[in-house]
Amino acid sequence: MQDVILIGIDLGKHSFHLHGQDARGKAVFRKKCTRKQLITFFATFHPCTVVMEACAGAHHMARHLMTFGHQVKLISPQFVRPFVKGNKNDFIDAEAICEAASRPNMRFVTPKTEVQQILSALHRVRESLVRDRIKASNQIHGFLLEFGISLPIGSAAIRRLPSVLAEHPLPVRLIAVLNRLHAHYKYLDEQIAEVEKELQLQLQEDDLGQRLMAVPGVGPITASLLSVELGDGKQYGCGRDFAASVGLVPRQYSTGGRATLFGISKRGDKNLRRLLVLCARSYMQRLDKQKGKLADWVRAMLSRRHSNVVACALANKLARTVWALAARQTEYRAAQASKAA
C-alpha cells in the first residue's frame, strides 16, 4: 500500500468505490466502503493524491480529506467519461477517474469553501423562488384572461389584484382560487426579499464583491454570484478561460486547417451567463448616457452588428474584466475597460 500515489473515488450516496494505483499506473487495490469506513481509511492512510468527480458531496468530501494531509482534485464528469473502458460499473468508473487525472493537461475544479457553497445554495434558492413567482403570475394572468380581464404586464398589476377582483363580477370559486394564488405570490415575494437581504449583507463584508460592483452593469446579485464562482480567480489562466467556462466564447468546429466558428458555446453555469448578458443589456439600454472607451467600443459594435451579438460580446468583455479584478486584486478603471483582460 505504501507505493500508492493516486486514489480515485467513485462517490455514492451510501457506498464508495476506491481504485488505488502506483506511479507507473498499475492498479494496487480496489475497495468498497461506507462513508464512515472511507473517513477511517483516509485518516490512517499515508498522504497521497485523491481524485473525485465534481458532483454532489464532492466539495464537502474534498475539504474533509484535505484535513488528513491528502491532495484532493476534482474533475468534471464530462472529462472522465472517455476513459471508461468496456461496460460501466463503479470500480471501472473509479479507475477511469484515476486515468483521467493522470493526463498532464487535465483540467481540475477548485474545491469550494463552506461559505461559497452556502452562498451558491442561496442563489439557487432565489432562482427557484423567482421561477415559482413567475409561474404564479402567469397563472393569474391566464385565469383572468379566460374571463375577459386583461392585466398589464408587471408585478404592480399582480399586487393590486384584490381591487381588480372587486371591480369585476367573477364566480366566487374563481375569486377564491385567485386569492390563493395571490397569497402564494406575496409569500414568494417576501421569501425572495429575505434571500436578497442575506446576499446584500454578505456583499457588504466581501471585498471582491464590492470591487465588482464598480463594473458597469453589474448589480449586487451578479456581483455576489461572481464572487462565489470566481474566488481568487487563480483556477483560470486568463480572462478568456473564465469567459469560456461560462460559455461566452464562440463554439468551434475546425478541421483540415479551416477554422469554423458558430455562436457562443453556452457551456458552464447557465445562471451566471444569463446574469452577465443581462448586465450587458442593462449597460446598452443606458448607452446614450455612457462615456469612455467602453461606451465608444459598444457604439462601434452596434453600428455593424446586431444588438444580440453585441450583448454577448459585451458580456464576454465583462467576464474578462471581473476575472482581472479578482486575479490581480485591482480596482475597476474605466479608462482601461475596453482592453482585453
Better-scored residue on pLDDT, 126 or 337: 126
Q: Per-residue pLDDT for 52 more than 60?
A: yes
Domain C-terminal end among 50, 79, 101: 101
Shared domain for 84 and 125, answered yes or no, is no
Q: Per-residue pLDDT for 338 more than 50?
A: no
* Predicted local distance difference test score (pLDDT) of residue 87: 86
Domain that residue 94 falls in = 6-101
Asked whether residue 243 is assigned to any structural domain, the reply reads yes
Give tens-digit pLDDT for 255-294: 888 888 888 888 888 999 999 999 999 999 998 888 888 8
Shortest CA distance to 272 belongs to which of 224, 217, 233?
Answer: 224
pTM: 0.83
Shared domain for 50 and 156, answered yes or no, is no
Distances (CA, A) of 24 to 29, 68, 149, 187: 14, 24, 74, 59
Asked whether residue 47 is assigned to any structural domain, the reply reads yes
Shared domain for 92 and 126, answered yes or no, is no
Shared domain for 93 and 121, answered yes or no, is no
Give tens-digit pLDDT for 172-222: 999 999 999 999 999 999 999 999 999 998 888 888 889 999 999 999 999
Q: Per-residue pLDDT for 171 more than 80?
A: yes
* Predicted local distance difference test score (pLDDT) of residue 116: 87
Q: Per-residue pLDDT for 335 more than 60?
A: no
Q: Poorest-confidence range of 63-77, 144-158, 309-323?
A: 144-158
Q: How many domains is the chain partitioned into structurally?
A: 3
The cell for 172 is 366566487
* Predicted local distance difference test score (pLDDT) of residue 40: 94
Average confidence score pLDDT of the chain: 90
The Cα–Cα gap between 273 and 319 comes to: 9
State the virtual CA torsion across 241, 76, 224, 309 in degrees, nearest 10.
Answer: 50
Contact 173, 147 (CB under 8 A): no
Shared domain for 144 and 228, answered yes or no, is no
* Predicted local distance difference test score (pLDDT) of residue 340: 42
Using CB atoms within 10 A of its CB, is residue 123 exposed (0-12), middle (13-18) or buried (19+)?
Answer: buried
Provide the pLDDT confidence category of residue 333 given band limits of 50, 70 and 90. Answer: confident
Shared domain for 74 and 51, answered yes or no, is yes
* Predicted local distance difference test score (pLDDT) of residue 341: 40
Provide the pLDDT confidence category of residue 336 given band limits of 50, 70 and 90. Answer: low
* Predicted local distance difference test score (pLDDT) of residue 19: 94
Using CB atoms within 10 A of its CB, is residue 124 exposed (0-12), middle (13-18) or buried (19+)?
Answer: exposed
Domain C-terminal end among 41, 73, 101: 101
Asked whether residue 46 is assigned to any structural domain, the reply reads yes
Q: Looking at residues 237-251, what average pLDDT do you find?
A: 90
SS3 234: coil
Domain C-terminal end among 153, 173, 204: 204
Give tens-digit pLDDT for 5-36: 999 999 999 999 999 999 888 999 999 999 99
SS3 203: helix
Give tens-digit pLDDT for 61-118: 999 999 999 999 999 999 999 999 888 899 999 999 999 999 998 989 889 888 888 8
Shared domain for 85 and 21, answered yes or no, is yes
Q: Per-residue pLDDT for 60 more than 70?
A: yes
